[in-house]
Structures are given as structure tokens and as C-alpha cells.
Structure 1
Amino acid sequence: MGSTVLVTNDSIYGFGSNSDNIFGQGVVATSKPVKLSQKPVDDAVVSFSFHSRKFYTLSLQNNKLSQNFDDDVLILDENESIIRIYSALGLDLVQTNQNLYFRGACDEAFCSVSELGEIYSWYVEEWTKMLLPFSASDIKQIKLQQQGVLFLLHNHSVFAMGSNIYGRFCVEYNAHMTLHVPTHILNDVQHIALSQYTTFFSVQNELYQCGSPTLQTLENDWFDGSEAKFVKRFKQIEQIEAAAQAVFVIDQGKMFIKGVQDEESYVGDEDGYEDWEEPYIEGKIHGIYAGNGGTVMWGEGERIRE
């Protein structure tokens, strides 16, 4: 079961799993929101991640970022402001209007390069500015998944960094290929999504994918899925999301799913969907966040969350 944090003007609420005590000691898993704390006047919760079960606070008074109210702090430059925070399996990215910072677990297949050109191969203890071949203000969207990250720029070009396993970055695959810096891979792209072994992207409402054709681990480690494959044409794609073994598409306010049902994380039958299906949900869907342990949708209607 996933975890969700809700933020109001003066309080923080949580519901779902209390794994790793993210909600604090003594809070059990619950299907109803539980009030966690009053927010200090000068603090605001700016992001929460299913993947790493953590949330951050941003002190508006001295422009610094803290994780779960701990002492681990990122102090921003003058006139620098946070746009969004991303987390996946212990690796955190902070996107600001001026820079991109990274910190945490950097396994052997996903190594980042600092602005000084240093390659990190295991763990980065302090927040570090990432070397980018484009301006941080050019970034429209970031997709962070296990051992990799995608960048969609405002000019519709896509850059990738991390493990190119099974050719998931639309680049010819070999057993030891890792992109240590953001590398240009695609043009004319409207939406992107990244799963453990697959990149999804849309061009003029047509969905394509590179990497594993089954969304699952392949027995053949030398499989090369670097050639982009056409998946399906939609009417008006509004968003693409992917988790470990499933992909979601919002098309004109309706959600379509293909993939594996993982521990009742996704809407659907017991085993999931072999082909594209539209689950019954009352109301129009505006957005979706799909983590490896749960799914949250938001929109109009009474039965948006399943």
C-alpha cells in the first residue's frame, strides 16, 4: 500500500502506509487522513515521494530545504526557488529555477556528474549541483525512475541519463552502457514517462516506447529495444505515467492502463491488463501520480481514488 501526504493551509495530513515511520511513531496504516502536525508559520511542505517515503519542508524565512524536519539541509542561492523535488530508491533530485541538485544513493548503473565534472559512483552525502548541457530553466518535465532519469525540455527535445538497459533510452544497447551526463535522445516530443525497463513518449498523440516490450524483466540480458516502437494512437494525450510494470495514459480526461497489477496498487482486476483498458471511474481525471507502491488520481467526481 502506498503513502499519501495532504497539505492544507495550516496542517499536514497523511493516509496509507506508515512504512519507515514517515508519519511519525505510533501512527498505523489508515484509509482515512490522519493529522500529522501543525505547520510552522514560516515552513511549507513542497514535495512528497511515494518511492522514498519522505517529504520535505522549505523554510521561507531563510530559503533552505530540510527533509522530514531533519538537519539535512540544502541552502539555495539568492533569488533561487524550488520548482519540484523528485525521489526514487534513495536518490533525490531538486529542481530550482537556476540549478538541478542531486544527493543520495547512486548505484553502479546510475552515476551523476557534478558541475565540476566529477563522476559519482556510489553515494553522494551532500547536495551537489549537476552538470547540465542545457539551462535548468529549459526543463519542462523530469521523470526519475530506478537507475535513470528523463528530461523533457520546453523545445520538446528529450535528454536521458543513467542505465540504458534493454535500450530503454532509444540508444543502441550494450551490457555496460551508462549515460553519465544528460544525453540528447529524441525531438518533437509532447509527453514522457519512464519505467524500470521502458521509456514511453508521445508524438502528435501517438504513443511510442523503447526498451522492454513486456514492461517486465527479460531473461535475455542482451535484448536491444532501442528502436522506437509504435504502441497506440489516442485522441488527445494529456499525460503519460509509468510505474515498474504498468503504464497509464490520460486521454481527454479518461484514463487507460496497460500492465501488471502489483499488490493491488492499480485500478483493475486481480492480474492487471494485458491490453489497454479503461477502468470505471466516475468523473473527469486531471492528473495521476503512479509510484511503484501505489497510485493517486485527481479530478472531478466522487470516485476518483481507487
Structure 2
Amino acid sequence: MGSTVLVTNDSIYGFGSNSDSIFGQGVFATSKPVKLSQKPVDDAVVSFSFHSRKFYTLSLQNNQLSQNFDEDVLILDENESIIQIYSALGLDLVQTNQNLYFRGACDEAFCSVSEQGEIYSWYVEEWTKMLLPFSASDIKQVKLQQQGVLFLLHNHSVFAMGSNIYGRFCVEYNVHMTLHVPTHILNDVQHIALGQYTTFFSVQNELYQCGSPTLQTLENDWFDGSEAKFVKRFKQIEQIEAAAQAVFVIDQGKIFIKGVQDEESYVGDEDGYEDWEEPYIEGKIHGIYAGNGGTVMWGEGERIKE
């Protein structure tokens, strides 16, 4: 939320800002990457925000997950190792080779509301093992949003748990705020991307969307799994990334962009997004990370021309 942290095999770099005037810890603000610390090769360190709006660093030492202002928060089994750490605005998730652990809060202001008008909210203070209908080793990719998670498995199935606010993971209307029960399964999915109001996925290089890009265009225009809307066919999709009101697709090393990243300046066409753009970039794009206010791309000799 305002910063990017790069972890190499021997150092940690940061740029942007991980704080503002109301946050006192761990502040760094820079337009160029600066070295934050050295680290052993076998360490895994990630900085991110938690539901308390404190910024901290998680580090893996002696197979224990620690944070810089508290005691050890998660102790793993002897044969268990961390694969990745994820964080949304109010939810943290740790993926290991054997399990998935989560903790955090659901902000009632962004919760889904049932047909009976009930607001689903929950708060989990301690790290809790997630009950999965599949093995953790089957997970190929994880996408995390404030109130829910998408899992893409190696067999091209997608499990949706909880809610991504208004995009709702392509599920039925009554979305229960729980991370224990899968609400919908999609098959033959190659890539997934999770925006604030919209879920994107690709099947055989065709891009589909569920939900709407902004609150202004949302209204009652819901999509469930059987009504996912076709967006565009590509030659060879390598990655999909989504921000709040924009979607990015890497197709054979080229980047395609649709939508905007500022809801106040949003002007969309009838399908909810502006026309596709293909900015000229010198070189080949290997990957992209899109935040709600900025985008980071990496590749071979890339340089944005216009």
C-alpha cells in the first residue's frame, strides 16, 4: 500500500513509501530502489500491512515466522517450509509446502450483504490453519483480496473462498464470508487475476471477466460462473494482472492494458472498460505486478517509450 519491496538472494530493496504521517515505524520514502538490509540466502523476508494498519516485516529464521514488533507468530512443523506470504488490506495468508495459514479481519464496510440483509464479517487474531478440500501441494497460484482467496490448482481448477467484495469470484448471490467452504469451482482455467470489483480468468487464451470495474457501473449487473463475460481472445496469454479498475495481459511478451487505475477519472465503454491499449516497450516483458496506484514490470531490456 504505497511501497514495493524487492527480495533478492542476498539483499532487500524498497522504493516508494510504506507509511505516512500517522505511521511511525519502518518508514522509507524514495523514488529509486534503496537497500534496506542484508539477509542470509535461506531467509524469506516480506514487508506488508496488517489489519491494525501497522507496517512490519516478516522474516523466516529457524523455520519460525517472526515480525519486527512482536513475538514469533507462527511456528512450523519440522518438515514444513514457507513457499509464499500474501497480504491484503485486512488479511494475511502464509502458504507452506503442507498447509495454508490465515489471520486478519474483514472490514464490515466492504462486506457482502445477504438477501436477508445480514452483513458477513469475521476476525481471526491467531494464525489459523485453513481447511482445504485439496492438498496444499496442488496449488499453482494464489490470489488474495480483502475478504477472500482464489486458488488456481495444477489441474486448472479454481477454488473460490469468501468474497472479493463486488466481483464475488463468479459465485452465486449469497456469498458467505468464510475461508472454510469453497463456493464455486471453475475448470480448465489457465490464469486468474483479482481486481477490487472484478475477477478475470483465461481459458484457452480467451479472457473472461466477472463483476464490474467500478461502483458507478456496478448496479445489479452481476455475473455468476455460467454467465462470465467474454472480453478478448489473445495469441498466447502468459500472465493476467488486475488493479482496482484496470486489467493487464502479457501476450507473447507484449503488454496489453484496459481500463484506468483511478476511479474518479474512470470513463468506461459499454463492457465496463476503456479500449485496449498496447504501449510500446523496448524488449520482452516477463512479468507484471499491478497495484491500485502504480505498476511494476520486468523483462529483457524493457523501456517504456510512450
Q: Please state which band the TM-score falls in when normalised by the shorter chain.
A: 0.7 to 0.9
Counterpart of 2:125?
A: 125
Closer, same or farther: CA 171–116 of 1 in aligned 2, 3 Å: closer
- C-alpha displacement of 1:59: 5.8
- C-alpha displacement of 1:270: 20
- My pick for the range that moved more, 132-141 or 176-185, is 176-185
SS of structure 2 residue aligned to 1:180: coil
- C-alpha displacement of 1:99: 0.3
Q: Report if the CA contact (8 A) 1:264-1:270 is conserved.
A: no
- C-alpha displacement of 1:184: 3.6
- My pick for the range that moved more, 102-111 or 242-251, is 102-111
SS of structure 2 residue aligned to 1:274: coil
SS of structure 1 residue aligned to 2:275: strand
- My pick for the range that moved more, 240-249 or 264-273, is 264-273
- My pick for the range that moved more, 25-34 or 99-108, is 25-34
- My pick for the range that moved more, 273-282 or 228-237, is 273-282
SS of structure 2 residue aligned to 1:25: coil
RMSD after superposition: 5.6
Q: Report if the CA contact (8 A) 1:265-1:294 is conserved.
A: no
Alpha-carbon distance in 2 for matches of 1:133, 1:28: 41
- My pick for the range that moved more, 182-191 or 30-39, is 30-39
SS of structure 2 residue aligned to 1:60: strand
2:227 is the counterpart of 1:227: yes
TM-score (norm 2): 0.80
Closer, same or farther: CA 96–114 of 1 in aligned 2, 3 Å: farther
Closer, same or farther: CA 109–157 of 1 in aligned 2, 3 Å: farther
Closer, same or farther: CA 196–44 of 1 in aligned 2, 3 Å: closer
- C-alpha displacement of 1:168: 3.5
- CA deviations on 1:18-48 (whole Å, 9 max, x unpaired) are 3159998685521122232333687442576
Percent of aligned pairs sharing the same letter: 96
Q: What does 1:227-306 correspond to in 2, within 5 Å? A: 227-262=227-262, 274-303=274-303
- CA deviations on 1:117-138 (whole Å, 9 max, x unpaired) are 9999432111110111111111
- My pick for the range that moved more, 8-17 or 262-271, is 262-271
- C-alpha displacement of 1:96: 0.6
- My pick for the range that moved more, 275-284 or 235-244, is 275-284
SS of structure 1 residue aligned to 2:273: strand
Q: Answer 1 or 2: higher relative contact order, Cα 8 Å, separation at least 6.
A: 1
- CA deviations on 1:117-170 (whole Å, 9 max, x unpaired) are 999943211111011111111111111113221111111011101127556322
Q: Report if the CA contact (8 A) 1:23-1:36 is conserved.
A: no
2:43 is the counterpart of 1:43: yes
Closer, same or farther: CA 301–109 of 1 in aligned 2, 3 Å: same
- My pick for the range that moved more, 233-242 or 175-184, is 175-184
Closer, same or farther: CA 99–167 of 1 in aligned 2, 3 Å: same
Total equivalences in the alignment: 306
- C-alpha displacement of 1:273: 6.9
- My pick for the range that moved more, 247-256 or 49-58, is 49-58
- My pick for the range that moved more, 172-181 or 113-122, is 113-122
Q: Report if the CA contact (8 A) 1:10-1:38 is conserved.
A: yes
Q: Report if the CA contact (8 A) 2:97-2:137 is conserved.
A: yes
SS of structure 1 residue aligned to 2:182: strand
Structure 2 segments unaligned to the other structure (5+ residues): none
Closer, same or farther: CA 8–24 of 1 in aligned 2, 3 Å: farther
Alpha-carbon distance in 1 for matches of 2:25, 2:174: 46
Q: Report if the CA contact (8 A) 2:60-2:66 is conserved.
A: no
Alpha-carbon distance in 2 for matches of 1:41, 1:79: 19
- CA deviations on 1:161-196 (whole Å, 9 max, x unpaired) are 112755632223248787752234210111111112
SS of structure 2 residue aligned to 1:9: coil
SS of structure 2 residue aligned to 1:297: strand
